[in-house]
């Protein structure tokens, strides 16, 4: 978009490494002018096929026994710490030690395509496959479960269901259910959103469960298989929940659209609403932006980086400017990327951090706060430092933050549901 401005507060790494020019520009907060950006129908980064980031299937374990066995197969990224989406085809198979497949096991040997999301600071997910071994034939034991992918390898486990078929009511057919992605810690809290006038807030877990506190009302949750990555509040008293695949779920709030079902280069890591709550942005870990409702597209990191350059660390959050005509993104190294009228006021991109940055909140008085996983707070522009937990030993890392309505305080939420309030942001309870 002509006239958009991209301010580099984080570090970029040229590929191949051709000198230090890009890094020098990042440290000096040099302004680059964006000549053109690819824009799709929703005003965001043009979608492309999944990047196909590498992964491997790890060991398989089983839980349960007899009538319902769940196989848990670990997933390992090809590159440690990589942040991306991987679409893979998985084929689960039940066979005897001699390779004979039971003829009456429905779903045996059928391929299913799933998308695995590797998220910033989150342990890789697992693949769950359920088998109901009712009256399997032949009865030769042990059976062997194998999960196989042409691109991710294979993993297997021997299992011996020994309960007589009659105990299951002589069910004629066994069932091998399609594999599903299971995120690592569904009970971890990953974000928060506030109600009007600082009177309440919601906390959301990775599984999509919502905990309302203060005057916040529980209007629903996602309960999906895709990991929740954040939430944003609406003026109607409701909220939106965003998932890693680009899905947006509205509760007591209008639905403006989502990227659910669209292949993405990188997983979604955050959501921010416009000040009038008439729209929202989704941000991906590569800095891609997708805009909905009255949230306008002002630029993205992939569209502004020089050819062959990439981020040192993934983007982890987004915040709107006070009038909604711009936004900031923050990377886990504290780098800031400003678009539209969101002014670059500084970053932690060139400073060694004790812990990675996990979130950002805009200040209505101008500026923004960054929060690290140890609760350390970094204030820039018109944002005032009101305190932090950086010097404390926390039971669980901080995963997100939200600003008070008047910009004179903020809350932090930890993975265990603990809430920390500073400035005029009142403490209204926690889930810890």
Instruction: Of 75-84, 146-155, 285-294, give the lowest mean pLDDT range.
Output: 75-84
**What is the predicted pLDDT for the residue at 53?**
83
Tell whether omega for the bond before 55 is within 30 degrees of 0, i.e. cis.
no
Instruction: Of 28-32, 122-126, 130-134, 287-291, give the lowest mean pLDDT range.
Output: 28-32
Instruction: Of 162-166, 379-383, 387-391, give the lowest mean pLDDT range.
Output: 162-166
Render pLDDT for 115-129 as a digit per residue (tens, 0 to 9): 899 999 888 999 999
Question: Could you please report the per-residue DSSP string of 306-371?
Answer: PTTEEESS-EEEEEE-TTSSEEEEEETTS-EEEEET------STTS--SS-EEEEEE-TTS-EEEE
Question: Mapping DSSP to helix (H, G, I), strand (E, B) and coil, where does residue 200 land?
Answer: strand
Task: Place 69 in a pLDDT band, splitting at 50, 70 and 90.
Answer: confident
Domain 55-182: give its CATH code: 2.60.40
Render pLDDT for 228-252 as a digit per residue (tens, 0 to 9): 999 999 988 999 999 999 999 999 9
* Euclidean distance between CA atoms 249 and 205, whole angstroms: 14
Position 286 pLDDT exceeds 50: yes
For the chain, what are the domain ranges? 5-36+185-423, 55-182
Q: Which has the higher per-residue pLDDT, 99 or 322? A: 322
* Euclidean distance between CA atoms 107 and 110, whole angstroms: 5
Bridge-based pairing state of the strands 239-243 and 248-251: antiparallel
Question: Mapping DSSP to helix (H, G, I), strand (E, B) and coil, where does residue 166 land?
Answer: helix
Task: Place 64 in a pLDDT band, splitting at 50, 70 and 90.
Answer: confident
Domain 5-36+185-423: give its CATH code: 2.130.10.10
Instruction: Of 86-100, 150-164, 230-244, 269-283, give the lowest mean pLDDT range.
Output: 150-164
Angle at 399 between CA 375 and CA 315, to 5 degrees: 105
Task: Place 106 in a pLDDT band, splitting at 50, 70 and 90.
Answer: confident
Question: Mapping DSSP to helix (H, G, I), strand (E, B) and coil, where does residue 253 land?
Answer: coil
**What is the predicted pLDDT for the residue at 307?**
86
Residue pointed to by tokens 């983007």: 315
Sign of the CA dihedral 97, 102, 107, 108?
A: positive
Is residue 297 within 8 Å of 1, Cβ to Cβ?
A: yes
């Amino acid at each position: 978009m002509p006239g958009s401005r991209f301010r580099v507060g984080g570090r970029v790494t040229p590929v191949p490494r051709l000198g230090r020019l890009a890094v020098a520009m990042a440290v000096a907060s040099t302004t680059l002018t964006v000549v053109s950006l690819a824009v799709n129908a929703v005003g965001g980064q043009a979608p492309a096929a999944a990047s196909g980031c590498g992964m491997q299937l790890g060991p398989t374990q089983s839980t349960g026994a007899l009538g319902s066995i769940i196989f848990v197969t670990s997933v390992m990224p090809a590159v440690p710490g990589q942040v991306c989406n991987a679409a893979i085809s998985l084929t689960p198979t039940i066979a005897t030690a001699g390779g004979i497949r039971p003829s009456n096991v429905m779903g045996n040997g059928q391929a299913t395509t799933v998308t695995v999301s590797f998220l910033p600071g989150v342990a890789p997910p697992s693949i769950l496959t359920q088998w109901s071994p009712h009256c399997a034939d032949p009865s030769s034991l042990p059976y062997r479960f194998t999960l196989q992918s042409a691109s991710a390898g294979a993993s297997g486990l021997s299992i011996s269901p020994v309960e007589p078929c009659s105990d299951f009511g002589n069910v004629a057919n066994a069932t091998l259910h399609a594999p599903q992605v299971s995120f690592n810690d569904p009970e971890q809290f990953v974000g928060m959103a506030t109600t009007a006038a600082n009177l309440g807030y919601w906390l959301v877990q990775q599984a999509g469960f919502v905990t309302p506190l203060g005057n916040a009302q529980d209007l629903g949750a996602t309960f999906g298989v895709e990991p929740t990555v954040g939430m944003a509040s609406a003026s109607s008293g409701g909220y939106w929940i965003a998932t890693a695949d680009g899905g947006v779920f509205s509760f007591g709030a209008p639905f403006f659209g989502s990227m659910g079902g669209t292949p993405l280069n990188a997983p979604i890591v955050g959501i921010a609403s416009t000040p009038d709550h008439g729209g929202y942005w989704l941000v991906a870990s590569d800095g891609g932006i997708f805009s909905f409702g009255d949230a306008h597209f002002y630029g993205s990191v992939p569209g502004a980086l020089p050819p062959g350059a990439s981020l040192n660390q993934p983007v982890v959050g987004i915040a709107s400017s006070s009038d909604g005509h711009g936004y900031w993104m923050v990377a886990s190294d504290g780098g800031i990327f400003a678009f539209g009228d969101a002014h670059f006021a500084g970053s932690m991109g060139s400073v060694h951090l004790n812990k990675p940055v996990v979130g950002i909140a805009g200040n209505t008085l101008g500026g923004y706060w960054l929060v690290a996983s140890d609760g350390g707070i970094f204030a820039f522009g018109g944002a005032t430092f009101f305190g932090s937990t950086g010097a404390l030993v926390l039971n669980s890392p901080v995963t997100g933050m939200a600003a008070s309505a008047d910009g004179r305080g903020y809350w932090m939420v930890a993975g265990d549901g603990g809430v920390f309030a500073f400035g005029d942001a009142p403490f209204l309870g926690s889930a810890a």
